[in-house]
């Protein structure tokens, strides 16, 4: 994927480089074979495409995954607000908005920047395991840590399935999830990952 800005400052993305100085970006963990969108997004999606592509590339997150999260969270309504207080396109909670220095959560640029960065952080935390990252985005990292897998919440499982169907992200069959315990400053820190440490056994054969 190549990107540049034209004379008016508009972000342009293409699979063909403009010139030899074009920069190449790779989105990790997103095989081309599974990136095809299966279901249409809201008609409003095109209004936010430049922001989605810009921040997806900046954070190494699949644009299709970001579109799927926005569709599930707010149906591309920048003024959406949940009964629990989640705001904007990717439904940022006030605490999350504060962490990512969002002044106005209803501003699409600020909201998508923070939401995609948070999603990218979760993907890194769970070693690019999309299901765990989505579960944490929906139910919170604490719930994922508690169960060592996708929490058995109907809402969360439906949320993941909805995004998989919309964004063309296939569920991982028989993917092992490992609980790695590390000593940090004398304290045990538990991390969930697809990759085992040298002395660890899978806590669950599959997270489906």
Residues annotated as catalytic (active site), given as ranges = 73
3-class secondary-structure state, position 103: coil
Please give the structure tokens belonging to residue 150. 């996708």
CA 90/CA 82 separation, integer angstroms? 11
CA angle 160, 166, 172 (to 5 degrees): 50
Q: Which residues contact 125 (CB under 8 A, 6 or more apart)?
A: 133, 136, 141, 191, 192
Which of the 8 DSSP states describes residue 76? Answer: T
The answer to whether residues 67 and 166 touch, using CB atoms and an 8 Å cutoff, is yes
Overall residue count recorded for the chain in this entry: 208
Q: Which residues contact 147 (CB under 8 A, 6 or more apart)?
A: none
Please give the structure tokens belonging to residue 166. 């919309």
Q: Which residues contact 135 (CB under 8 A, 6 or more apart)?
A: 143, 144, 150, 151, 156, 160
């Amino acid at each position: 994927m190549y990107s540049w800005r034209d004379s008016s400052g508009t972000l342009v993305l293409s699979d063909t480089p403009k010139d030899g100085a074009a920069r190449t970006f790779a989105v990790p963990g997103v095989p081309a074979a599974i990136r095809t969108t299966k279901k249409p997004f809201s008609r409003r999606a095109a209004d936010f495409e430049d922001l989605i592509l810009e921040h997806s590339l900046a954070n190494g997150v699949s644009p299709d995954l970001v579109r799927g999260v926005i569709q599930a969270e707010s149906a591309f309504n920048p003024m959406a607000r949940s009964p629990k207080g989640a705001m904007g396109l990717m439904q940022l909670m006030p605490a999350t908005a504060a962490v990512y220095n969002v002044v106005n959560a209803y501003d699409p640029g600020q909201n998508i920047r923070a939401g995609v960065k948070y999603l990218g952080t979760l993907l890194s935390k769970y070693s690019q395991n999309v299901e765990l990252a989505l579960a944490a985005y929906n139910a919170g990292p604490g719930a994922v840590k508690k169960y060592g897998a996708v929490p058995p919440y109907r809402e969360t499982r439906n949320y993941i399935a909805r995004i998989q169907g919309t964004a063309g992200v296939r569920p991982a069959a028989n993917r092992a999830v490992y609980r790695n315990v590390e000593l940090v400053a004398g304290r045990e820190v538990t991390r969930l990952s697809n990759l085992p440490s040298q002395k660890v056994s899978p806590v669950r054969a599959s997270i489906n």
